[in-house]
Chain A
Amino acid sequence: MPNDSRGLAKAKQVYQERSRRARQLRAEGSRVIGYPCVYVPVEMLSALGLVPYRTYGDIREPVTEADRALPTSFCPFMRSCFDCALKAKDDFLDGMVVAHSCDPQEKTARLWESYVGYPYFHFMDVPGTVRPEAVEYFGGQLSDLKATLEAFTGQELTVERLRSAIQFHNEQRALVKELYELTKPAPPLVSGTEMLQVVKALMSLPVAEGNDLLKEVIGEVQGRTTGGPELKPVRLLVWSSTLDDVAIMEILESGANVVMDEGCGGMRAYRGEVKLTDEPMDGLARHYMDDITCARTFRQGADGETTKEYSQDLEKRFGYLKDVVEEWSINAAILLLVRYCDPFAFEVPSLRDYFDAVGIPSIYIEYDYAEGALAPLRTRVEAFFETIG
Chain B
Amino acid sequence: MTKVLLTDVDGKVLSVVKGPTGPEHRRLANEVMQRALEQANLQLDLVSYVVATGYGRLNVPFADRRITELTCHARGVYSLFPHVKTAIDIGGQDAKCMKVSHGRVVNFAMNDKCAAGTGRFLEVIAVALGVKVEDMGDISLRSRKKVHVSNLCTVFARQEVVARLSEGEKLEDIVAGLHDAVASRVVGLARTLRIEPDVVLTGGVAKNNGIVRAMQEHLRCEVLVPEDPLITGALGAAILAKDLWQESVARGERAPTELRRLKKATFFT
Contacts and interface: CB of A to CB of B under 8 A. Distances in A.
Direct contact of A and B (CB under 8 A): yes
A383 B89 CA distance: 15
Contacts of B55: 375, 379
Interface stretch (B62-70, B155-163, B217-225): B62-70
Contact of B71 (A368, A376, A383): A383
A224 interface: no
A386 B110 contact: no
Interface residues of A, number: 9
Nearest to A376: B112
B104 A387 contact: yes
B29 interface: no
Interface in A355-389: 368, 375-376, 379-380, 382-383, 386-387
Contacts of B106: 387
Given A375-B55, A379-B55, A379-B69, A386 B113 contact: no
B107 A376 contact: no
Contact of A379 (B68, B104, B105, B107): B68
B81 interface: no
B71 A386 contact: yes
Nearest to B107: A387
Interface in A317-353: none
A383 B113 contact: no
Nearest to A367: B113
B259 to A, nearest CB: 22
A184 B69 CA distance: 33
Contact of A382 (B68, B107, B113): B68
Nearest to A375: B55
Q: Is the interface of B mostly helix, strand, loop or mixed?
A: mixed
A379 B105 CA distance: 13
Contacts, number: 31
A379 B112 contact: yes
Contacts of A376: 110, 112-113
Contacts of A375: 55
Most buried by B among A375, A376, A383: A383
B57 to A, nearest CB: 9
A239 B144 CA distance: 50
A379 B70 contact: yes
Nearest to A384: B108
A383 B112 contact: no
Interface string B99-120: 0000011111010110000000
Nearest to A349: B192
Range, interface on chain B? 10 to 19
Interface in B61-83: 67-71
A265 B70 CA distance: 30
B63 to A, nearest CB: 14
Given A375-B55, A379-B55, A386 B112 contact: no
Interface string B33-67: 00000000000000000000001000000000001
Nearest to A385: B68
A283 to B, nearest CB: 43
Nearest to B108: A383
Nearest to B70: A383
Which of B55, B68, B70, B105 has the most chain A CB within a 10 Å cutoff?
A: B68
Contact of B110 (A368, A379, A387): A379
B118 to A, nearest CB: 13
B64 to A, nearest CB: 16
Contact of A387 (B69, B105, B112, B113): B105
B126 to A, nearest CB: 26
A151 to B, nearest CB: 47
Nearest to A379: B68
Nearest to A254: B66
Given A375-B55, A386-B70, A386-B71, A380 B110 contact: yes
Nearest to A387: B105
A315 B131 CA distance: 58
B78 to A, nearest CB: 14
A26 to B, nearest CB: 39
Contacts of B107: 387
Contacts of B110: 376, 379-380
Nearest to B72: A386
A212 to B, nearest CB: 39
A380 B113 CA distance: 13
Contacts of A387: 71, 104-108
Nearest to A368: B113
Interface in B131-152: none
Contacts of B112: 376, 379
A387 to B, nearest CB: 5
A159 B122 CA distance: 68
Interface in B210-257: none
A360 to B, nearest CB: 15
Contacts of A380: 108, 110
A330 to B, nearest CB: 20
A387 B108 CA distance: 9
B240 to A, nearest CB: 10
A101 to B, nearest CB: 27
A380 B68 CA distance: 8
B79 to A, nearest CB: 17
Nearest to A339: B113
Interface core residue of A368, A380, A386 (most chain B CB under 10 Å): A386
Given A383-B108, A386-B70, 12 more contacts: A375-B55, A376-B110, A379-B112, A380-B108, A382-B67, A383-B68, A383-B105, A386-B71, A386-B105, A387-B104, A387-B105, A387-B107
24 contacts: A368-B113, A375-B55, A376-B112, A376-B113, A379-B55, A379-B68, A379-B70, A379-B112, A380-B108, A380-B110, A382-B67, A383-B68, A383-B70, A383-B71, A383-B108, A386-B67, A386-B68, A386-B70, A386-B71, A386-B105, A387-B104, A387-B105, A387-B106, A387-B108
Interface of A: 368, 375-376, 379-380, 382-383, 386-387
